[in-house]
Structure 1
């Protein structure tokens, strides 16, 4: 799925574009703006694969905005929307993928989406992948640990220093305000003392990383901090990079996807009780489930049912109460007549729900179990 940012200064047209893009199965709205200045400011944070830009906008036109965005990401795919076809020549000056004449229709979007996806797949295939055996410096799945250049774990001077690093890893390549960090990490302290703690913790963080031989671009500007990261620095960034550039699993990325599913399992930061991380942890968990579903769908598509079941079992090791994935695995067992595996998985799921949540399986899963037992009894 491609992440798309939309910039259109007329709100009704922006709403239309947001709806059309949001309804397309291959596209996801990463951000929608009436202000080109706001879009430029948020671009690095949102990391879209493509942008739909209105050409005629006040303060900064679409052509100028495209040039500035391309300076930040030369691989960004640009599509212009305009009521004036005479702009086509200017549009292709900035290597635009295409341009759409207003009013944009779903048929227009379908044509452009196909081109965007084709170019995205081609570029992904040419992009050098991170070495499969290269361990990331920071591990964020199922634990939270950072290793120095000699492979030893970094012992942080304070718990807040560690939490500060966790937050910067969670939101890299964007400016994080110092007052925001003060409120986030020291909400009970007065402003001056909280801000002093921010500066002190940043100093300690940089020193700890330097002493461990870890080179990191952590800069201070405009009363805030920005941590620049490459996709191979942390397992979290590696996972995000794969998910952002992958619309579906096929023979070219199956091995990488299977490795990611196994090595990027467990809760974010090992379930550390950071007050700010609950929403992000839920978002990552949803993407982990999405990866398992995509990989399972690929294996089913090529007829490798054993690999499909193994994929679901691997995921459920770390998320045993996931109702949708459990149901999918039970259906596969039922379809293949694997009574023993079906019974063991179902009973394990029932026990887990009762012990952890004091709940019973959903009606759909109970019906599935009843139907399978009835069929097995008749046989």
Structure 2
């Protein structure tokens, strides 16, 4: 996907270019310091899928630029990158797909790009393929790290937290009728029965109203004193991740790039920081699926001696769960492969201290033995090098 940068600070062009270069799915096609130049470029290049736009610019500001594109019917997706948090509500009224506050982290940028790519691919499908049946919906759903629903008309603006939760619940059980009694228990548990049922009625109404601007009101169906969600042709990120991860039974040199692309699909735990009690099992299942996949991918990268890529992936797992010994084991092997005896010792020592402090236990004999053998291997390499 080709993207452009619109910011009156050239330094931000350099920063974003460097960050976006790490994402092989996108290519920066142009960078502009004013909105007028960007509009002219977009008029001549219809293949641009995404624009990163600053809000506070001289001349036409980012909000005015976004409003102009929307009024012209431009399909270009917009992401605001700004130092100001005050314009978030106004930005979403313009149907931007994300609002990033500087400084932007690589992980946060990656999540945004993934969302944009999902939307862009869905749009490309509708324009390049045989027209779908009249009743088929084409939209994308991001549920890893967030809950976002969008199509070429824009993105859903949730009316309330409970209508977001109801959508997430029905999404997880898509295609099935969920009795009202179960929804009341799982989503409105703890409330008085009559009040909970009234709250459910209000939430169903709010959910349909939230989906209506995107032409999706009818995906919420009432069936035999229950509700179901029918999604025809939707691109759902966690479904895509699971399917592609399961397809890669073996990760070898021919499949590493594909596997790296699959890893990038996982932009956060299911439903992000919402922590719905009823979703705990599935959230953990997808998290463990991701961890298992990354360990397999890291092992393949280590065997191909791509220690840099393997280390980056493993450090992400280590940050998520510092107590996972299998991740420490792989990181230790990388330290030995790169001849980093000091780093190997620091990694092992820090892990021993963590176990003692948090669990009052010592590392396994297997890990201790591995550490000793890797340290000896580092010393042998150093001696061999000195003799040459």
Normalised by the length of structure 2, the TM-score is: 0.53
Q: Which moved more, 1:199-208 or 1:317-326?
A: 317-326
Q: Map 1:1-379 onto structure 2 (within 5 A).
A: 133-135=117-119, 137-147=140-150, 149=152, 151=154, 154-212=156-214, 214=216, 217-229=219-231, 233-250=235-252, 253-300=255-302, 304-346=306-348, 349=351, 357=358, 362-363=363-364, 364-373=366-375, 376=378
* Cα displacement (A) at 1:331: 2.5
Alpha carbons 1:312, 1:329 under 8 Å: kept: yes
Structure-2 separation of matches of 1:236 and 1:292: 15
Alpha carbons 1:230, 1:237 under 8 Å: kept: no
* Cα displacement (A) at 1:292: 0.9
Query: 1:193/1:318 Cα in 2 relative to 1: closer, same or farther (>3 Å)?
Result: same
Normalised by the length of structure 1, the TM-score is: 0.54
* Cα displacement (A) at 1:275: 1.5
Structure-1 separation of matches of 2:255 and 2:222: 38
Structure-2 separation of matches of 1:239 and 1:179: 32
The residue matched to 2:268 in structure 1 has which SS?
coil
> Structure 1, residues 199-235: CA drift from partner, whole Å, max 9, x if none?
3212211210112555773322233322234685332
> Structure 1, residues 72-122: CA drift from partner, whole Å, max 9, x if none?
xxxxxxxxxxxxxxxxxxxxxxxxxxxxxxxxxxxxxxxxxxxxxxxxxxx
Name the structure, 1 or 2, with higher relative contact order (CA <8 Å, separation 6+).
1
Query: 1:373/1:278 Cα in 2 relative to 1: closer, same or farther (>3 Å)?
Result: same
* Cα displacement (A) at 1:274: 1.6
RMSD value over aligned CA atoms? 3.6
Structure-2 separation of matches of 1:216 and 1:241: 27
Query: 1:365/1:228 Cα in 2 relative to 1: closer, same or farther (>3 Å)?
Result: farther
Structure-1 separation of matches of 2:233 and 2:285: 18
Structure-2 separation of matches of 1:172 and 1:250: 34
The residue matched to 1:142 in structure 2 has which SS?
coil
* Cα displacement (A) at 1:276: 1.4
* Cα displacement (A) at 1:281: 1.6
Task: Determine the structure 2 residue equivalent to 1:9.
Answer: none
Structure-2 separation of matches of 1:365 and 1:255: 30
The residue matched to 2:277 in structure 1 has which SS?
coil
* Cα displacement (A) at 1:183: 0.6
Query: 1:171/1:352 Cα in 2 relative to 1: closer, same or farther (>3 Å)?
Result: farther
Structure-1 separation of matches of 2:191 and 2:256: 49
* Cα displacement (A) at 1:348: 5.6
* Cα displacement (A) at 1:188: 1.7
* Cα displacement (A) at 1:258: 1.0
Structure-2 separation of matches of 1:340 and 1:231: 53
Q: How many residues align?
A: 248
* Cα displacement (A) at 1:374: 5.6
* Cα displacement (A) at 1:182: 1.0
* Cα displacement (A) at 1:282: 1.3
Structure-1 separation of matches of 2:167 and 2:277: 14
